[in-house]
Amino acid sequence: MNAHNDVKRPSDQSLDARLVLAAAQLRFAARVDFLVARWLERCATNAEAGQRLFKTDRKPTREFGMGVDVVVSSPRWDESP
């Protein structure tokens, strides 16, 4: 009779524990990857929305030194020239 063969040996138990741990690590890594991908997608969407919000169709600004008006100032700030 080989009744002792029905009992798992310690090495078999540790192997099972390692497989369970490896599977748990893979599930955790997959979940983290999913959450990071979703976060990055939200960031990209927000950036695109911000760009659309601040996009303007203004004419290009004049270069420095061109079209500068001369302003005559009064000696007192509350008097007009």
**Number of compact structural domains in the chain:** 1
Q: Report yes or no on 40 lying in a domain.
A: yes
- Residues 6 or more apart whose CB falls under 8 angstroms from that of 32 comprise none
Q: Give the tokens for residue 30.
A: 């997959």
Structure tokens at 28: 């955790």
- The three-class DSSP label of residue 67 is coil
Instruction: Assess if residue 44 is contained within a domain.
Output: yes
Q: Is the model's pTM score more than 0.85?
A: no
- DSSP 8-state class, residue 1: -
Residues 14-69 pLDDT 10s: 778 999 999 999 999 999 999 999 999 999 999 999 888 888 655 555 556 555 55
Q: Is residue 38 part of a domain?
A: yes
- Element housing 35 (H / E): helix 10-54
Asked whether residue 66 is domain-assigned, the answer is no
What is the residue range of 34's domain?
A: 27-56
Q: Is residue 76 part of a domain?
A: no
- Element spanning 19, H or E: helix 10-54
